[in-house]
Amino acid sequence: MKRIGVLTSGGDAPGMNAAIRAVVRTGIAKGWEVWGVKGGYQGLITGKILPLGARDVGGIMQRGGTILGSARAPEFKTEEGQLKALRTLNEQGIEALVVIGGNGSQTGSGALHKLGFPVVGVASTIDNDLYGSETTIGVDTALNISLEAIDRLKTTASSLQRAFMLEVMGRDCGYLALMSAIAGGAEACVIPEVETDPEDLAQRLRAAYQKGKEHAIVVVAEGAKYNAETLGQYFSSHRERLGFDLRVTILGHVQRGGAPTAYDRILASRLAAGATEALARGEFGVLVGLNQSKITTTPIEVVNSSKKEIDMELFELAKILD
């Protein structure tokens, strides 16, 4: 093997740049040329590929986002688009590809693998919903951002003696919300994996004040049936009967931004190095992840056909600790 490619795809995650850096430098250490694909799978289709040297990735580790960029690529979902991408790789003499991203990105890597192209995925998504890795690049940074928001909301909630609700990202996975609630000492947590009754939630918040608490914080996942918008409307329309309403804060894409934590930088470096190691030993069509503190590989077919479940013991723990 003489030349490999690397791309980032899907939603950006803090630590992606550290992963790009590690792919480039470990690849060069193996005697390979490393080329970067600009704009994810769309860049593969249009041929936006450039060589990356060790100095090209210097000073990027502390930056959020991805220097390679990402873009939607509906054309890549078609066989024609995938064949265009494959043609670009062949024309550029790229013999293998490292794909840094989450579920959608690894679906794409699986498509290339089925076409016979050597590909290795690196687990990267703040949602932590990707099967094959206990934790993924960007999760720790996103958790710390939501934790800071909870701590700040507690200060003003205690001053005003009001209930506040914080909506965090995570798509259809409640991991970020659940772990944020535990770490932040929230009074309640609403996640897609557990049915929530707004009346029960109101009772729990009222009980918190009856116990003498000066604040009440609810952390809700954006993908929950009762997300911040619907819960806010419910409490507002029933304010007279419930006795209070909820002040809503939505983190949104703020949670993706900022410098990655030390943990995410180290995790990204380890996973990316694991990806080039997999390529070197001829192990293709796998996702590189972290399990029981060890770098592991999982067949991409298994990753894309499996669902990562939340540990419900943690949800019970959150209820006990609220």
Residue 311: active-site member: no
270 a known binding residue? Answer: no
Length of the chain: 322
213 a known binding residue? Answer: yes
Please give the structure tokens belonging to residue 208.
């918190």
256 a known binding residue? Answer: yes
22 a known binding residue? Answer: yes
Three-state SS string over 247-312 comes to EEEECHHHHHCCCCCHHHHHHHHHHHHHHHHHHHCCCCCEEEEEECCEEEEEEHHHHHHCCCCCCH
104 a known binding residue? Answer: yes
241 a known binding residue? Answer: no
220 a known binding residue? Answer: no
Question: Cβ of 4: how many Cβ atoms within 10 Å?
Answer: 24
311 a known binding residue? Answer: no
Backbone φ and ψ of 292, nearest 5°: 50, 45
- What torsion, rounded to 10 degrees, do the Cα atoms 120, 60, 169, 310 define? 40
301 a known binding residue? Answer: no
Question: Cβ of 99: how many Cβ atoms within 10 Å?
Answer: 29
40 a known binding residue? Answer: no
Task: Specify the residue for token string 């998504």.
Answer: 125
Question: Chain-centre distance of CA 65, in angstroms?
Answer: 12
Looking at 12, 127, 140, 245, which residue is catalytic? 127
- Cβ neighbors of 279 (< 8 A, separation 6 or more) are 1, 4, 96, 98, 118, 120
169 a known binding residue? Answer: yes
| Contact indicator for 92, 38 with CB cutoff of 8 Å | no
11 a known binding residue? Answer: yes
Report the distance separating Cα 29 and Cα 66, nearest Å. Answer: 22
Rg of the chain over Cα atoms, rounded to whole angstroms, equals 22
The candidate with the shortest Cα–Cα distance to 11, out of 201, 253, 247, is: 253
Report the distance separating Cα 259 and Cα 184, nearest Å. Answer: 21
Task: Specify the residue for token string 């590690």.
Answer: 22
Helix or strand holding residue 242 (H, E): helix 239-242
Backbone φ and ψ of 269, nearest 5°: -65, -40
215 a known binding residue? Answer: yes
127 a known binding residue? Answer: yes
154 a known binding residue? Answer: yes
Please give the structure tokens belonging to residue 279.
């390529």
253 a known binding residue? Answer: yes
87 a known binding residue? Answer: no
23 a known binding residue? Answer: yes
User: Residue 173: what residue type?
Assistant: C
Annotated binding residues for Mg(2+), written as ranges, equal 103
Point out the residues that are catalytic: 127
Annotated binding site for ATP: 11, 72-73, 102-105
Annotated binding site for substrate: 125-127, 162, 169-171, 222, 247, 253-256
Binding residues: 11, 21-25, 72-73, 102-105, 125-127, 154, 162, 169-171, 185-187, 211, 213-215, 222, 247, 253-256
Binding residues for ADP: 21-25, 154, 185-187, 211, 213-215
